Amino acid sequence: MQGLFFESDAGPLVAIRVIVLLLGFWTAWRAGRAVAEGWSDYPLVIVYTFLLAWAMQFLHHALFNGPMLSAFYYILDFVTLLVFSTAGFRYRRTNQMVNNYYWLYEKTSAFSWKDKH
């Protein structure tokens, strides 16, 4: 499992690696929320996640001497970050719809709403 997110198990920098991952996840969550805050559509979340995945690839390369141009690790970073950015987007959009249009919608979960009929 250790080699899944990082290219090697060597080095005493496990804590720094975890911090970088958590910062990446937090940034993805905030990027999704920011898109929802601006009332933009979901495709912009995907664009921001592509850019964030590239930045994470660079951090892995710069800090941990990982490969810069690895399709496998880029896709892994992208998919993982997309989960967090989508969750942030849906969470914020649900709260927007329920709070701004309270006479039309009610919350069904943290990530969805339905009509009040």
Assess if residue 87 is contained within a domain. yes
Whose CA is closest to 1, among 58, 70, 76? Answer: 76
Residue 49 corresponds to which tokens in the numbers above? 């996640």
Please, are residues 94 and 36 in contact by the beta-carbon 8 Å criterion? no
Assess if residue 7 is contained within a domain. no
Assess if residue 4 is contained within a domain. no
Assess if residue 2 is contained within a domain. no
Q: Which residue has the higher pLDDT, 82 or 11?
A: 82
Mean pLDDT rounded to a whole number for the chain: 88
pLDDT at 9 over 60: no
Range of the domain at 63: 12-115
What's the whole-model pTM score?
0.82
Based on the structure, what is the number of domains in the chain?
A: 1
Assess if residue 29 is contained within a domain. yes
Across the range 18-25, mean pLDDT stands at 87
Assess if residue 106 is contained within a domain. yes
61 exposed, middle or buried (CB, 10 Å; 0-12, 13-18, 19+)? middle
Whose CA is closest to 44, among 85, 2, 101? Answer: 85
* Pairing assessment for the beta strands 112-115 and 105-109 based on DSSP bridges: antiparallel
What is the amino acid identity at position 84?
A: F
Assess if residue 39 is contained within a domain. yes
Assess if residue 5 is contained within a domain. no
Residue 75: its pLDDT value, please? 93
pLDDT at 6 over 80: no
**What's the Rg (C-alpha) of the chain?**
17
